Chains A and B, each alone.
Chain A
């Protein structure tokens, strides 16, 4: 049961990658009018008939985070905006792909959204090198999003190096939390 679910998610994710990957070929990176990424809201049409409000619910930004409406239940989901990295590495971990795909969908469907990718490093090593490392990490996330069809003009990259840790501890677990990229919606 669990296995099929994971596989199912993977297939959905992969399709999303393929779909948005196609979308990136389009020269237009304006507002979210891509019919393919709007397909899910079309599927929810019968439910809408029953409701008095006909307007489709759009994602909203709340304190830098993106809140995505869940079609059928009327609830919403706040996407995780934090992605972690290994020491002295700037490779996007597979564990973050699913969440990044959701960000990519929101961004490519809503051209008015802008994000700032804030790259961070842990305190080990030198400050200037860590600034460069933080930027590498943010660039890696950007490259991933752009490959999923997000326009480069929607994405800004900034590195804070080791200057803004989320955990001020000096242990391996604190460092792991601090090696991150934060996706901040503006």
Chain B
């Protein structure tokens, strides 16, 4: 008995070492009239194992978007690879709206992928594309297929090729460990960029997605802002002021960094020119001013301030420092950021003592609470402006959740490892492909 137990212990230890702590996605709310798609296993031209992960990845992407139903392969009545092999009756019988078919070929230097999106009802080809990529880019190429399908069928740019940065915290007291991770938007391919025994927070992307800025207490337990180049791993300490060094936010052109410093005695917002290193203070108030974010054109800063007694969202025009209060509903509104088109903002909003993620329509001033969970924070909008990811609590554990701006789709991303927090959606796709024009199907 003891031996069996030991064996199980060893096995679980091995498993926990080998299995990377990926985020697992659970859809909690999808749209009522999901589009029914069938992704047929791709034809494979090449040696070795057939690369069928492509179907799994695309199916998983489409399901996780909450907008699609993906037909399991076992239920398919035929497995066409080309348009002339399709028996449309088979698919109508299964109530399938769209078909994805194609083939994958090893070119010696890499992979060539051809795929077509077929409208079953109209019997028409909605997309027919060929892309080439490296031998190990199957996952990126699959996400590209998902992006094309999603965009063709919803009119919204897909975000399956984007990434999510987040922080995990494990252990307590002396054993506390903070990790800064970057994963694919579907939770796979987790890469730990940096880890520290001291707090790590406020990680944010540069607009080109090549750098990140964050606050770390790694030096003598004091906070400082760092900029980290992802490709080279080169890290630079940007600030070392007494007091707060917090909430970095890159300007849309990537040349300036807004931040919060309390070196003058009080939390104020400053803008640092990353080229000239000139630092200018833009707020002057004895209250707390924090959490700066930029408007799309970089002409104004959105921030949180308790200058009115309670935390509310304000906007400051940088041209003349004119300040306008944006939120009036509720007694705790914080950490706001604008949608890419500037039509509204997402933020943390307290209602009946519970912290939710809310959307404020700036044109009509209408506030919508998007989440039903509590202790929600750190909303971050996808580059397509249709979804946001945020941090929340589930069964006493910090997890990430996502919700569409219209509230129609919701999913959770629980992790096997510790508390997950402060998600930041990448502004750019990890990898994108230029389709080859006029290329015949393989």
Which residues of A approach B to under 8 Å, CB–CB? Answer: 88, 123-129, 131-133, 135-136, 157-161, 163-164, 168-170
Give the chain B neighbours of A163 by CB distance below 8 A.
169, 199, 201, 217
Find out whether the CB atom of B290 lies under 8 angstroms from the CB atom of A129. yes
Pick from A124, A129, A157, A159: contact of B375, CB under 8 Å: A124
Most buried by B among A132, A158, A163: A132
27 pairs from A and B in contact (CB 8 Å cutoff) = A88-B332, A123-B375, A124-B375, A125-B334, A125-B348, A126-B334, A126-B335, A127-B202, A127-B421, A128-B291, A129-B288, A129-B291, A129-B311, A129-B335, A131-B223, A131-B244, A131-B246, A131-B290, A132-B267, A132-B290, A135-B267, A158-B222, A158-B223, A159-B223, A159-B244, A164-B176, A168-B172
Determine the distance from Cα of A161 to Cα of B245 in the docked complex, in whole angstroms.
12
Known: A127-B422, A163-B199. A132 touches B260 (CB 8 A): yes
The secondary-structure label for the interface of chain A is mixed
Determine the distance from Cα of A127 to Cα of B248 in the docked complex, in whole angstroms.
13
Determine the distance from Cα of A88 to Cα of B332 in the docked complex, in whole angstroms.
10
Find out whether the CB atom of B355 lies under 8 angstroms from the CB atom of A128. no
Pick from B199, B222, B290, B375: contact of A128, CB under 8 Å: B290
**Does B358 sit within 8 A of A, measured CB to CB?**
no
Find out whether the CB atom of B355 lies under 8 angstroms from the CB atom of A135. no
**Does B154 sit within 8 A of A, measured CB to CB?**
no
Give the chain B neighbours of A170 by CB distance below 8 A.
375, 393, 396
Give the chain A neighbours of B426 by CB distance below 8 A.
none
Give the chain A neighbours of B209 by CB distance below 8 A.
none
- Minimum CB distance partner of B169 in chain A: A163
Pick from A123, A128, A135, A169: contact of B202, CB under 8 Å: A128
Which residues of B approach A to under 8 Å, CB–CB? Answer: 169, 172, 176, 199, 201-202, 217, 221-223, 243-244, 246-247, 260, 262, 267, 288, 290-291, 304, 310-311, 332, 334-335, 348, 350, 355, 375, 377-378, 393, 396, 421-422
Nearest Cβ on chain B to A58's Cβ, whole angstroms: 27
Determine the distance from Cα of A160 to Cα of B202 in the docked complex, in whole angstroms.
13
Give the chain A neighbours of B262 by CB distance below 8 A.
132, 135
Known: A158-B221, A158-B222, A163-B201. A125 touches B355 (CB 8 A): yes
Most buried by B among A124, A161, A169: A124
List the 8 closest pairs (A to B, CB-CB), nearest first: A163-B199, A126-B335, A132-B288, A132-B267, A128-B247, A126-B334, A128-B291, A128-B290
Most buried by B among A124, A163, A168: A163
Determine the distance from Cα of A135 to Cα of B287 in the docked complex, in whole angstroms.
12
Give the chain A neighbours of B243 by CB distance below 8 A.
135, 157
How many residue pairs link A and B with beta carbons under 8 A? The number is: 79
Give the chain B neighbours of A133 by CB distance below 8 A.
288
- Minimum CB distance partner of A160 in chain B: B199
The secondary-structure label for the interface of chain B is strand
Nearest Cβ on chain A to B351's Cβ, whole angstroms: 13
Query: A129-B311, A132-B290, A158-B222 provided; 17 other pairs, C-beta below 8 A?
Result: A125-B311, A125-B334, A125-B355, A126-B378, A127-B201, A127-B422, A128-B201, A128-B246, A129-B304, A129-B335, A132-B262, A133-B288, A158-B221, A163-B199, A163-B217, A164-B199, A168-B172
Nearest Cβ on chain B to A186's Cβ, whole angstroms: 11
Determine the distance from Cα of A128 to Cα of B260 in the docked complex, in whole angstroms.
9
Pick from A126, A161, A169: contact of B304, CB under 8 Å: A126
Determine the distance from Cα of A48 to Cα of B267 in the docked complex, in whole angstroms.
51
Determine the distance from Cα of A160 to Cα of B335 in the docked complex, in whole angstroms.
18
Give the chain A neighbours of B169 by CB distance below 8 A.
163
Pick from A136, A160, A164, A168: contact of B288, CB under 8 Å: A136
Nearest Cβ on chain B to A112's Cβ, whole angstroms: 20
Determine the distance from Cα of A161 to Cα of B169 in the docked complex, in whole angstroms.
15
Give the chain A neighbours of B310 by CB distance below 8 A.
88
Determine the distance from Cα of A158 to Cα of B290 in the docked complex, in whole angstroms.
17
Pick from B172, B244, B332, B348: contact of A135, CB under 8 Å: B244
Give the chain A neighbours of B421 by CB distance below 8 A.
127
Give the chain A neighbours of B199 by CB distance below 8 A.
160-161, 163-164
Find out whether the CB atom of B355 lies under 8 angstroms from the CB atom of A124. yes
Most buried by A among B202, B290, B332: B290
Give the chain B neighbours of A160 by CB distance below 8 A.
199, 217
Nearest Cβ on chain B to A83's Cβ, whole angstroms: 19
Nearest Cβ on chain B to A132's Cβ, whole angstroms: 4
Nearest Cβ on chain A to B8's Cβ, whole angstroms: 28
Determine the distance from Cα of A169 to Cα of B375 in the docked complex, in whole angstroms.
12
Pick from A123, A124, A132, A169: contact of B244, CB under 8 Å: A132
Give the chain A neighbours of B202 by CB distance below 8 A.
127-128
Find out whether the CB atom of B377 lies under 8 angstroms from the CB atom of A126. yes
- Minimum CB distance partner of A118 in chain B: B221
Nearest Cβ on chain B to A130's Cβ, whole angstroms: 10
Determine the distance from Cα of A86 to Cα of B341 in the docked complex, in whole angstroms.
39
Nearest Cβ on chain A to B175's Cβ, whole angstroms: 12
Give the chain B neighbours of A161 by CB distance below 8 A.
199, 201
- Minimum CB distance partner of A165 in chain B: B172
Nearest Cβ on chain A to B130's Cβ, whole angstroms: 46
- Minimum CB distance partner of A168 in chain B: B172
Nearest Cβ on chain A to B28's Cβ, whole angstroms: 20
Known: A124-B375, A135-B262, A170-B375. A129 touches B244 (CB 8 A): no
